[in-house]
Structure 1
Amino acid sequence: MIQASGLRKQYGQTVALDGVDLHVREGEIYGVLGQSGAGKSTLLRCVNLLERPTAGTVTVAGQDLTALPGRELNRARQRIGMIHQHFALLSSRTVAGNVAFPLEVMGVPRAERQRRVAELLDLVGLQGRGGDRPHQLSGGQKQRVGIARALAGNPSVLLSDEATSALDPATTQSILALLKRLNAELGLTILLITHEMNVVKSVCDSVAIMAGGRVEESGAIADLIRTPGSRLTREIFPLPEPAPAGSVTLTFTGDPGRPLVSEMARKFDVDVNILGGSIEELAGGSVGRLRVALTGAETSSALSFLRESGLLVEVAGEAA
């Protein structure tokens, strides 16, 4: 649904994006994770060409946006909704007026605008609040208005620029739950910019980790978790580094119901000393990471057993 190739964005001598590639599949929630200055927001603005890249191409729903002239680009943008960190609501308008604004720009007749606004406010849980002004709303309610406005043109893609970073934790979870529901019910493809790992863990199917204007790691979360040396895995499960020489780090996904470690210990007469670990619930299911020290004559066979059982096995001091 979104394909960025070789994106570069330069402001004078400052390089904000340096050869970024991005592949977002239709219908997924894709997170772009990184600290301030990593290039995340610049990437997002290049996706809908609010910022024109210095080099590279952006294709959305099969259209190369970087090749479109102004009028065609404006039409293509109507299929891309955007929600903002600080809501960007018009204080002079009511809630309904804010949601209706893009429909007015598109020339939608008044009766159809009213019907669509009522439908959208119901969708985001703001029934009966159409006559309120933005100052009468909480932060979470303002963001729901922003989401309803972003959906006004029936977009196939929704861009979210740090949409929860100005909200408290409970409100953040309610907004993330709303985005997840919209993704499922409407088939929306969502590209979500964030600096918070908890946001990625809660809703994202895939992620790109950015630093210094580059993508350091990207892919489906389930695939990255199973990749040796994955930065994502280290950040989700911050075990002490460096790992003690000879220690074994085990990573598993899915239902941890089978007691593989105890089964291994019995089968190969291996002693297991647990050094640390945890289990996390990600959008795709349970993921666990456990660091152990093994002693016994058959440790090599024991590790082979774990690998054959589907675990990612990393031995400190050994090449991946």
Structure 2
Amino acid sequence: MIQASGLRKHYGETVALDGVDLHVREGEIYGVLGQSGAGKSTLLRCVNLLERPTAGTVAVAGQDLTALGDGELNRARQRIGMIHQHFALLSSRTVAGNVAFPLEVMGVPRAERRRRVAELLALVGLDGRGKDRPHQLSGGQKQRVGIARALAGNPSVLLSDEATSALDPATTQSILALLKRLNTELGLTILLITHEMDVVKTVCDSVAIMSGGRIEESGAVADLIRTPGARLTREIFPLPEPAPPGVVTLTFTGDPGRPVVSEVVRKFDVDVSILGGSIEELAGGSAGRLRVALDGAETGAALAYLRDCGLIVEVAGETREGRAA
């Protein structure tokens, strides 16, 4: 649904994007994670060409936006909704007037605008609040208005620029739940920018981690967690690094119910000491990381058994082939 290739963006001598490739599948929630200055907001603005890249191409739904003239680009943008960190509501308008604004720009007749606005406010949980002014709303309610406005043109893609960073934790969870519901019910593809790992854990199917204008790693969240050495895994499960030589790190995704550590103790001549770990609930299911020390004559057989059980097994001080590093 979104394909960016070789994106570069320069502001004078400053390089904000340095050869970024981004591929977002239709119907997924894709997070771009990074600290302030990483280039993630510039990337988002390049996706709908609010910022025109210095080099590279951006295609949305198969259409190359970078090749369009102004009129064609404006029409293409109607299929791309955007929600903002600080809501960007018009204080002079009512809630209904804010949601109706893009419909007015598109020339939608008044009766159809009124019907569509009522439908959207009900969709985001603000039924009956159309006559209120923005100053009468809480932060979460303002963001719901922003989401309703972004959906006015029936977009296929929704861009979210730090949409929850100005909200308290409980409100953040309610807005993320709303985005997930819209993704499921409307089939929306959502590209969201965030510096919060909890946002990625809660709703994202895939993620790209940015730093210094580049993407350091990207892919499906579950796939990255199962990739030895992935930065995402280290940040979700912050165990002390590096592990002492010989210590084993076990990583799994999916159902954590099977007692594999107990099975190893029963089946093999080994002692297992648990040194640390945790289990997290992610958008795609559970994932966990456990650090253990194994001691005994059948340690090698026990590690092979754990791998056969589908766990990612990393032994500190060894290469992936098991040789001394």
Question: TM-score if structure 1 supplies the norm length?
Answer: 0.99
- Residue 225 of structure 2 corresponds to residue 208 of structure 1: no
Structure 2 residue matching 1:113: 3-state secondary structure: helix
Structure 2 residue matching 1:318: 3-state secondary structure: coil
- Residue 193 of structure 2 corresponds to residue 193 of structure 1: yes
Q: C-alpha displacement at 1:256, in angstroms?
A: 1.2
| Residue in structure 1 matched with residue 62 of structure 2 by the alignment | 62
| Residue in structure 1 matched with residue 231 of structure 2 by the alignment | 231
| Residue in structure 2 matched with residue 110 of structure 1 by the alignment | 110
| Residue in structure 1 matched with residue 38 of structure 2 by the alignment | 38
- Residue 176 of structure 2 corresponds to residue 180 of structure 1: no
Distance 2:192 2:270 in 1: 45
| Residue in structure 1 matched with residue 302 of structure 2 by the alignment | 302
| One-letter code aligned to 1:236 | I
Structure 1 residue matching 2:53: 3-state secondary structure: coil
Structure 2 residue matching 1:71: 3-state secondary structure: helix
Q: C-alpha displacement at 1:241, in angstroms?
A: 1.1
Alpha-carbon displacement from aligned partner over 1:9-30 (angstroms, at most 9, x marks no partner): 0001100000111110000000
Alpha-carbon displacement from aligned partner over 1:15-63 (angstroms, at most 9, x marks no partner): 0000111110000000000000000000000000000000111010000
Runs of 4+ in 1 over 3 A off after TM superposition: none
| One-letter code aligned to 1:12 | G
Within-5 A mapping of 1:113-124: 113-124=113-124
| Residue in structure 2 matched with residue 75 of structure 1 by the alignment | 75
Q: C-alpha displacement at 1:319, in angstroms?
A: 1.6
Question: TM-score if structure 2 supplies the norm length?
Answer: 0.98
Q: C-alpha displacement at 1:140, in angstroms?
A: 0.3
Distance 1:133 1:298 in 2: 70
Alpha-carbon displacement from aligned partner over 1:148-178 (angstroms, at most 9, x marks no partner): 0000000000000000000000000000000
Alpha-carbon displacement from aligned partner over 1:193-248 (angstroms, at most 9, x marks no partner): 00000000000000000000000010000100100101000000000111011100
Q: C-alpha displacement at 1:308, in angstroms?
A: 1.1
Gaps of 5+ in 2: 321-325
Within-5 A mapping of 1:249-264: 249-264=249-264
RMSD: 0.5
Distance 1:3 1:317 in 2: 39
What is the percent sequence identity of the aligned residues?
Answer: 89
Distance 2:42 2:70 in 1: 20
Structure 1 residue matching 2:166: 3-state secondary structure: coil
| Residue in structure 2 matched with residue 91 of structure 1 by the alignment | 91
Structure 2 residue matching 1:128: 3-state secondary structure: coil
Distance 1:42 1:300 in 2: 49
Structure 2 residue matching 1:32: 3-state secondary structure: strand
Distance 1:232 1:200 in 2: 10
